[in-house]
Each structure stands twice: as C-alpha cells, then as structure tokens.
Amino acid sequence: MKIKSCYICQHCGYQSPKWLGRCPDCGQWDAMVEERREAGPSQRRGGVALASSATPQRLCEVATTAEQRCLCGLSELDRVLGGGVVPGSLVLIGGDPGIGKSTLLLQAVDRLAATGAVLYVTAEESTRQVKMRGERLNVGAGDLFLVSETSLEIILERVRELRPSFLVVDSIQTIFTADLESAPGSVSQVRECAGRLMHLAKGQGVSTFITGHVTKDGAIAGPRMLEHMVDTVLYFEGDAGHPYRVLRAVKNRFGSTNEIGVFEMKEGGLAEVPNPSELFLAERPEGAAGSVVVPTLEGSRPILVELQALVSTSNFGQPRRTAIGIDPNRVALLVAVLEKKVGLSMLNQDIFFNVAGGVRLSEPGVDLGVIAALASSHLNRPVPASLMLFGEVGLAGEVRAVSRPELRVREAARLGFDRCYLPAGCLKAVDAPPGMELRGVRCVEQALDEVFA
C-alpha cells in the first residue's frame, strides 16, 4: 500500500497537500501538522460485525418500537439524556479539566452495573487512582470492571472478551490506533478511534460514553466531525469559584436539547440538586439595590435566578462594561434602550453585571429583569424582595411575550413571590396562582414606573 503524507489542521480537520502557515478554513495560525496515511480505501472495521446490507423500505412500512432505556439512578443525568441511556448509543461528555466528568461517569456506571456489566477504560489514570476515587465516592459495584489502556485494538479485544452492556472511555484524546502513525489526540486519531467506537456501539448494542478535552474557547478538542458522529453531546459546565455544576445537552438524537441537570460538588462526590431555584436564591441580599429575581426556562424546567447590577460613576474617559453569565452585547443593547427610551444617562457610568450562582443565561426572557436591575442600581432604589418580572425587550422599548409563562409564574408562586410583572401579551394565557398578583406591561417605561412607584 502506497504511503503518502498530508497536512491536517488540528483545530478543524482541514487537509492540505502542503504546509500552510494559516489554516484557510478556520484561520488558526501554525495549526497544520504533517500526518502520514495509506492511500486507498481502508478496510479496517476494528473487528466489529456490522449488520447486513440494508434494502430500501417505504417509510410507512418501517417498524417502530419504544426505546428501552436504562435508568442510571441519577435523575438529573437521566433528564438530560431524555429519560435514560439508550442501548447502543454513543454519548460524548466534554468539560473543563477538573470539572467532574470522571466523577459523574463513575457514579453513573456504578448504578448502571446493576443492569449489566460495565467496562471502564481509564486511559489517563491508573486503575489504583480510579479505585481511590471510587472509595471516596462509595462506588463498589460487582460488575464494574476497570482497565488502564490506551490502545484501541486492545480495548476492542477486551470488549469482545467481556461483552459488557456499557463502555466508558476516558478520554478519547488519549486513545490511539496502531494503524495510524500520527500522535494520540491528533485529528486523524480522534476521528478514527471515534468511528470504530461508533461501529462497536451500533453493531453490538454497547452503550458507550466517551469524555473529551476542551480547548481554551470551551469547545471539545478535535475535529468538529466528532460531535456529528455521536448520538448525544453533553457539556459539563461550572465555575471554579462555585460548587454548582450544570450538565447541558447541545445535541441529543433521543431527546430534547433544552434540558439541563444541576449538581453540587461535595466531598463525597456530585450531589443532585432537584430544586435549583431555592439553591440559587438562598443567599440573596435583602433590600440591596441592583438585585432582581427573574425566571428562566431550561427545557421544561423553570429556574429562578438572581441578577445583580452595579452602576457607578467612572473615573476614566472610557467607562467599563463587564457582564458575567450573560451576553455582554445583550447588556449593552439594553443599556442603550434605557438611555434612549427611559432617559437614564449612563454614558459616564461603569456597569458591572453578574448572574449569581455561576449560571449562564441565553434566553431573551430575562431582558426585563436586566433592565430593572440596571435601573435599580443607577437610581439606588431596591426592587421589592417579593417582586419578580420577565419579558423580552425590543429596540423600541416594547415588552414582548415569551414562551411558557405559566411555568415561570407557578415556580415563583411556589417560592413565595406575590407580585409578577410580565408581558401584556402573556397575561391572558396565565391564570394567577393563589396569592400571586399578575400585572401586564407593554413597554419599559411602564414597567419601571410601576416597580419604583
């Protein structure tokens, strides 16, 4: 077989027959690495027996059956997966170093071992290190097998010998195949190893979990094709200064991508947080200007979070604008709406904005809360502690309707809030819970006038 070499971008997987200083596809500098490969079609399949060649069928003739899911015992993880682990699925979990990916998987497979054998491949640690972590987490299932190996061929051989129901590979960037000469973690190695694991999962029905390193930008390292190959992509997020962790699905072929799971890192491992609203509001200051509570929706789960704003006179020619947990461009847009439509002058003001608890917000339904927090800090007038508001704000200062307002209002009433300002367009679709007063607003000026009346 003829051997040829090509240059592959280690960020996006772009291939070039010659070296380039800058990748034409992603624009990264000094990312092209030479890799040797065989010319011609590869017949390697990792020894996995695939299904017979399929014949075309009419859509109406395809038989459908309910998916038999396996519950891993962690309800937050089961929620994000769409109701449990689907047999033969390939799940990719990414996150920052030390965020708790291995801890989460070890706790999950310990409970999955009650339904079938589990093979945990630790490519970055020794089996003794995993055993020490397991003792700390009180993990000790009888059908949980450990192996410390980085060779893909040996891993596949162990799978054929053990025939487990579940497989964990930690991590995909450290696994390599001898059929390629490139180093572990390169684009070719990651793509080839993930492809063979996919054939294993689909061909033998082994539910497979793989972990992935992330780049400095927060994306999973390796080719983007890696996320296209797997069935589910989960990101384990969290702030180093907070004990809370959020498991978020960005791709899921067997469920919704809007669900999140909330965990708290403790000495004995990850503890589930079934009611994150109470946790995020537990340390809310009383009577502080710039503090506002808003309901955000993550899938089918409403969560109440605290927004904090600090507006102060700048001592420099260029005021500082900082936002944590929310898009800074969105905050800048809402500041412009305040200046233009309400008349609050913030041209010479430093603005610092934070979402308490390390939560990241992306939906526009919190816009009205951001407006109220900024105005509260600027005017030095606190928002009543029992008041909550939500709604999307447009450039004309209008308050637009948002999705699922009834869930947001119900969650606020459960936690003791007695007054809620919401878009007038949502008012007819929501029945006020007992003890809750609902007030519809059409513009930012009206909302602020009523809040600070």
Residues tagged in the binding site annotation for ATP: 95-102
Amino acid at 64: T
State the distance between the two ends of the chain, measured CA to CA, in whole angstroms.
81
Binding site members = 95-102
Q: 3-state SS string over the chain?
A: CCEEEEEEECCCCCEECCCCCECCCCCCECCEEEEEEECCCCCCCCCCCCCCCCCCCCHHHCCCCCCCCECCCCHHHHHHHCCCECCCCEEEEEECCCCCHHHHHHHHHHHHCCCCCEEEEECCCCHHHHHHHHHHCCCCCCCEEEECCCEHHHHHHHHHHHCCCEEEEECHHHCECCCCCCCCCCHHHHHHHHHHHHHHHHHHCCEEEEEECECCCCCECCCCHHHHHCCEEEEEEECCCCCEEEEEEEEECCCCCCCEEEEEEECCEEEECCCHHHHHCCCCCCCCCCEEEEEEEECCEEEEEEEEEEEEECCCCCCCEEEECCCHHHHHHHHHHHHHHHCCCCCCEEEEEEEHHHCCCCCHHHHHHHHHHHHHHHHCCCCCCCEEECCEECCCCEEECCCCHHHHHHHHHHCCCCEEEEEHHHHCCCCCCCCCEEEEECEHHHHHHHHCC
Q: In this structure, what are the phi and psi dihedrals at residue 445, rounded to the nearest 5 degrees? A: -60, -45
Residue 347 CB burial class (10 angstroms; 0-12, 13-18, ≥19): exposed
200, two tokens:
């294993």
Q: How far apart are CA 368 and CA 439, in angstroms?
A: 13
Half-sphere exposure (CA, 13 Å, Cβ side) for 67? 16
